Structure 1
Amino acid sequence: MPQLSLLKSPAAVQAAMDEFSHLGRVAFLKRYGFGKSKDYMVRNPRTGEPCDSKAIVGVAFGKQFPNQGALAAEDFSGGEMTVVPLLQTLGFVVMRVGEDWTEAEVQSTVTDYFEMLRLEAAGVAYNKSGHNETLRKQLRGRSKASVELKHQNISAVLNGMGLPFIQGYKPRGNSQLLLRKVVQDYVFRHSAEVSKIVDGLEEVKSPAQKSYSAVLVESPVMEERQRLVASTRSRPRLPRKFDYAARDEANRKLGRLGEDWVIGYEQHRLTLIGHPELFQSLEWISDTQGDGAGYDILSFESDVLHRYIEVKTTNGGIASPFIVSHNELEFSAEAGEQFYLYRVFQLSGEPKLFILRGDLSSQLYLKPLDYRASFREHFK
């Protein structure tokens, strides 16, 4: 232990952390014979990267005293009584592994997330890794992966509020209560900014991509239901202008562009299956008869079987929620395997498509949104 007390050079500690960053965690620990820290990490002030505290101290000793070399893991004990106060005395930030994020950290992360979402809505290119690196310098030694997870948690909160989220950060639940609170507060305090984001993502543009090759992708799978922990905080009541799925549904111009795109896709598909002549009999039902049929386009599966297509369109990503009417749900059950829901997403950029076939009630989590009110009860 007396050897450890001789370490008094912040520059030596920084040199050890620089080597840690250069080699990577696994290679650094292997080179010097240390295991991963179970309790404490020290933050590299230059990169924001968390480093294994005991290994850094052992290697730093060798940086300060090159003639003696680095201390081995068995030469000293790590932890709260030795390594932690030494590093803190030398001016470094030490954090406990798995320590909850502070409110300041969460607010910085949420602000950064909305900045990226604003750029995405404006169609401005940005670098997620660059944002991650810059943000970590404001945090308490969080890793790149932990910041990415927090961004995914934010996506999950926004998705639960019916709002758009960054497409590169797939929603992941189990976020801390503080994060949900900060996201909700941000939405209400910056309502004008959020409205502009939604407007930007909903802006109706003709699809940039004209080719129908490779546009069909696998549909998302139904995730396992998660039991939510009851919260004393009431569910946020968002103004209708923030309801992204409802605004998609109400945007008739967006819907018509999506249906028009699907008609082009159907011409491509029918040609591929060897029935280009069937395209002449395709009917745009919502255009010729209006809404209410339970589907938008009458196409063909073969020369004897129809394909009833309901189109749902968004400028958002594959996981964007959408609205299914009671009529459409009933028709999907009645038509069975001849019913196809075409979900067109990323319409204004490079449109993609996934298809749900048959009864929708077995393929989606459905949540009732509205009720028809009257003073007389009607039965089927």
Structure 2
Amino acid sequence: MSESWSVIEVELTVADYFKMLVAELNGIAYNKSAYRRALLSFLDQRTESAVEKKRQNISAALVKLGQPYIKGYLPLFNYQQLVEEKVVEYLKDKPELELLFRSFANKEIQQRGQTNFEKLLEAAPEPEKVHEPQTPYIRKPIKVNYLEQEQKNHSLGMHGEELVMDWEKWNLKKEGKSRYADEVRWVSREEGDGLGYDILSKDLAGKDKFIEVKTTKLSKKTPIYFSKNELDFSVSNKEKFYLYRLFNFEKSPKMFIRQGALNQACLAEPINYRGYF
């Protein structure tokens, strides 16, 4: 068995992955193990572990292209160039997938039910160096970044910020700081989005906390998108700035927190340029 996967193996695995992704985005239950067992019979003596890693590689390629992926397969970026090429080919051959991605990004979030605040918080992942293959320029088959579009989803963002508001008040009261809970303010709703943060809270010593909330329906490894204004504010106020990252929001919300400037909380990648004349 060779180390590198063949063209046909990657094509089969990509097609298999997209069948599961379409089912997931349509809310249809499916069995990952059954898909994996069926796929293995067509591959060159690959192990189940190898198939799982290749599926994570496909998730990573979709993230690089700005598209949704299967939540259960966290992006793994050390993939062979062929993976990205075959994902791009598949998207070109299936232009109807963009309608599904658009629906995912723009879906209205219903009023959330009760959240168990005791189980909301998880440890923050450590930023990892992303190793992507040095691919030549590839014209993206889908021009819209639907991961970024999802983050801009108004109902998703509002429900995420509301949950953080409630959690902050609950946590302060739990820590015996009820007097600070009354001072928590939803500034992005009161004053708009231009301040560089969403919620003004207090730490346990009564000092200001500037909280930026980023919410996704996908996993904790989904990249966040932030403006220069948000970055500049976080750098200027890094001792008081906190990123609250909500994920898996639609099904069972979880959250991690990182303190400090945004370019310290994650591995920031510049994606836009400005040209002066």
Same fold (TM over 0.5): yes
Higher relative contact order (CA 8 A, sep 6+): 2
- Offset at residue 343 of structure 1 (A): 0.8
CA deviation vs aligned residue, 1:115-139 (integer Å, no higher than 9, x gap):
1111222222222111100111222
- Offset at residue 326 of structure 1 (A): 0.9
- Offset at residue 154 of structure 1 (A): 0.9
User: Please, what TM-score do these two structures have when normalized by structure 1?
Assistant: 0.68
* Separation (CA, whole Å) in 2 of partners of 1:224 and 1:293: 30
CA deviation vs aligned residue, 1:297-329 (integer Å, no higher than 9, x gap):
111113531111111111111111111111111
Contiguous gaps of at least 5 residues in structure 2: none
Alignment counterpart, residue 119 of structure 2, candidates 214, 217, 221: 214
Q: Please say if 1:120 is aligned against 2:2.
A: no
Which residue is 1:90 aligned to? Answer: none
Contiguous gaps of at least 5 residues in structure 1: 1-96, 376-380
Which residue is 1:148 aligned to? Answer: 52
* Separation (CA, whole Å) in 2 of partners of 1:229 and 1:349: 33
Contact conserved, 2:105 with 2:153, CA < 8 A, in 1? no
* Separation (CA, whole Å) in 2 of partners of 1:352 and 1:277: 26
Which residue is 1:331 aligned to? Answer: 233
Alignment counterpart, residue 223 of structure 2, candidates 290, 305, 321: 321
- Offset at residue 191 of structure 1 (A): 2.5
CA deviation vs aligned residue, 1:216-256 (integer Å, no higher than 9, x gap):
11112121353x5544x423335443x13320232222211
Alignment counterpart, residue 175 of structure 1, candidates 75, 79, 82: 79
CA deviation vs aligned residue, 1:98-155 (integer Å, no higher than 9, x gap):
2543322222211110111112222222221111001112223322122112111111
Which residue is 1:98 aligned to? Answer: 2
Percent identical = 35
Q: Give 1:206-285 correspondences, 5 Å limit.
A: 206-226=111-131, 230-231=134-135, 233-237=136-140, 239-241=142-144, 243-285=145-187
Contact conserved, 1:159 with 1:165, CA < 8 A, in 2? yes
Contact conserved, 1:202 with 1:314, CA < 8 A, in 2? no
More displaced 10-residue stretch of structure 1: 362-371 or 309-318: 362-371
Q: Give 1:1-380 correspondences, 5 Å limit.
A: 97-98=1-2, 100-200=4-104, 202-205=106-109, 206-226=111-131, 230-231=134-135, 233-237=136-140, 239-241=142-144, 243-302=145-204, 304-372=206-274, 375=277
Q: 1:229 to 1:342 in 2, by over 3 A?
A: closer
User: Please, what TM-score do these two structures have when normalized by structure 2?
Assistant: 0.91
* Separation (CA, whole Å) in 2 of partners of 1:313 and 1:229: 28
Secondary structure, aligned partner of 2:257: strand
Contact conserved, 1:342 with 1:353, CA < 8 A, in 2? yes
Instruction: Give the number of aligned pairs.
Output: 276
Contact conserved, 2:77 with 2:130, CA < 8 A, in 1? no
Q: 1:374 to 1:209 in 2, by over 3 A?
A: farther
* Separation (CA, whole Å) in 2 of partners of 1:362 and 1:110: 34
Q: CA RMSD in A?
A: 2.1
Contact conserved, 1:209 with 1:349, CA < 8 A, in 2? no
